[in-house]
Amino acid sequence: MARKAAAAEVITLDDGLWERVMEATHGAVAPCFQCGVCTATCPWGLLQEEPVNVRRLMHRAQIGIEQEDGAMWWCTTCRACEELCPRGVPIADVMLALRDLAWKDGGVPKGVSSVMWAMYWDGNPWRRPPTQRTGWSKGVDVPRFSPACDVLFYVGCTPSYDSRSQKVARALARIFGEAGVTFGTLGEREPCCGDAAYGLGQHDYLRQIIEANTRLFAEEGVSTLVTTSPHCYDMFANHYAKDSGLKPLHYTQYLATLIDEGKLRFERPFEATLTFHDPCYLGRANGVYDEPRAVLSAIPGVTLVEMQRSRADALCCGGGGGRMWIDTKAGERFADLRVADVAETGADILVTACPHCIACLEDSLKMAGSAVRVMDVAEVVAEALDVGGAS
């Protein structure tokens, strides 16, 4: 007698879906040979009883089966799994391509559409009016950009609107002034770079943002632009057309150059033991590991110690890949795991260089009752220069 298959065992292969996934991912899942290293590497496995089954997700994408349980929305696009994938599968890109398909099929999680609407109506994911975009610069001399400036200071949405990150933007403006750099911002005309649309997989809208911004930057005569956030840096460096004429730099790269050129000099000691948390979009996504450390090491009095998981092995804060805009329960946040990593080093200050990392790490350290202070590299530099660090 033939065995009757249980309904749960019946899997329908959908050729149409397979073709759409292959097209959306440019065939990137094809080389996956199902070793499961990605599932074992993914930090969700350290926080949840059921890890995010990345291997299964890749398998379903490979053979054209509908994705289940919204697993692709957990991914922070930290790319830790990609570092170890023996087949070089661009796993985060596959996750984003699957999200893009979910938008087309109407299957996005609650709350995600409202972030896109905020970007559409207000020009930022923070749901704040564009007229408040320059509110961060109170008390700091911030000129309007002109093509005669050395650089455009691209502040970014989070440092423009989030009160904690505004301090970092002010610190940077003061540092640029101290170094004698001629800089300016686009003021209320500064657009969102599109990172939230990228991370949440709304790639049709992202293309529109990029086109409009490229026109605006050309109109304004922008060439070198220095970003506060590694996310904005990544957008301009890797997702805008290579012939757009833009030369993006993350501010840690720019400060390292200013120090090398002798334009930034530290006279006062800053006596503290620091440990640096590598933001995923600076480190793994763009290979910028040395510059933030070079900036911190140039300050007399600083002792820099490394966490066990650093550089390419660094643990994600949990705020990338659009996860800043999706709730994560307390106790299930990647940054919660960083508390122990920092404590092991004995550092007084946890330093990073990304507004999302600052928000996630500060939350987790506070929740854990840790006395360790969280600072941005820019705040450490501004405090060392005595130009107003965290103000």
Q: How far is the CB of 88 from ligand SF4 (least distance, A)?
A: 8
Q: Which is nearer to ligand SF4, 38 or 196 (CB)?
A: 38
3-class SS shares of the chain: helix, strand, coil, % to 5: 50, 10, 45
Could you tell me the smallest distance in angstroms from the CB atom of residue 90 to ligand SF4?
9
Exposure class string for 347-368: b at 16+ Cβ within 10 A, else e: bbbbbbbbbbbbbbbbbbbeee
Write down the least CB distance from residue 3 to ligand SF4, Å. 30
Distances from the Cα of 300 to the Cα of 33, 267, 272, 294, 361, angstroms: 50, 8, 10, 12, 26
Which lies closer to ligand SF4 via its Cβ, residue 74 or residue 240? 74
Residue 252 to residue 351: CA distance in whole angstroms: 12
Tell the smallest beta-carbon distance from residue 254 to ligand SF4 (Å): 28
When the beta carbons of 32 and 351 are compared against ligand SF4, the nearer one is 32
Answer left, alpha or beta for residue 386, where phi above 0 means left and psi between -120 and 50 means alpha.
left
In the complex with ligand SF4, which residue's Cβ is closer, 170 or 323?
323
Distance CA 363, CA 373 (A): 11
Taking phi first (over 0 means left), then psi (-120 to 50 degrees means alpha), and beta for anything else, what does residue 137 get?
A: alpha
Q: Are 339 and 368 in contact (CB under 8 A)?
A: yes
Cβ-based nearer residue to ligand SF4, 85 or 196: 85
- Nearest-approach distance from CB 87 to ligand SF4, in angstroms: 4
Output 84 or 212, the one with its CB closest to ligand SF4. 84
Find the shortest distance in angstroms from Cβ 46 to ligand SF4. Answer: 11
Cβ 64 to ligand SF4, closest distance in Å? 16
Whichever of 319 and 389 has its CB closer to ligand SF4, that residue is 319
User: Hey, what's the torsion of the CAs at 66, 34, 19, 96, to 10 degrees?
Assistant: 70
Query: Cα(first)–Cα(last) distance of the chain, in Å?
Result: 78
Q: How far is the CB of 282 from ligand SF4 (least distance, A)?
A: 15
Give the position of tokens 């391509």. Answer: 97
Which CB sits closer to ligand SF4, 41 or 213?
41
Which residues touch 75 (CB under 8 Å, ≥6 apart)?
52, 54, 91, 92, 95, 321
* CA 138/CA 211 separation, integer angstroms: 31
Q: How far is CA 294 from the centre of its chain?
A: 21
Catalog residues that contact ligand SF4 under the rule CB under 6 A: 32-38, 41-42, 54-55, 58, 75-81, 85-87, 89, 91-92, 95
For the bound state, the minimum distance from the C-beta of residue 331 to ligand SF4, rounded and expressed in Å, comes to 18
CA distances, 134 to each of 98, 177, 182, 188 (Å): 36, 17, 18, 6
Identity of the residue, 98 or 347, whose beta carbon is nearer to ligand SF4 in the bound complex:
98
Which segments within the chain are labelled E, that is strand?
A: 151-154, 183-184, 224-227, 247-250, 272-276, 302-305, 349-352, 373-376
For residue 206, the surrounding DSSP H or E stretch is helix 203-220
- Shortest distance in whole angstroms from residue 316 CB to ligand SF4: 6
Q: Which is nearer to ligand SF4, 34 or 273 (CB)?
A: 34
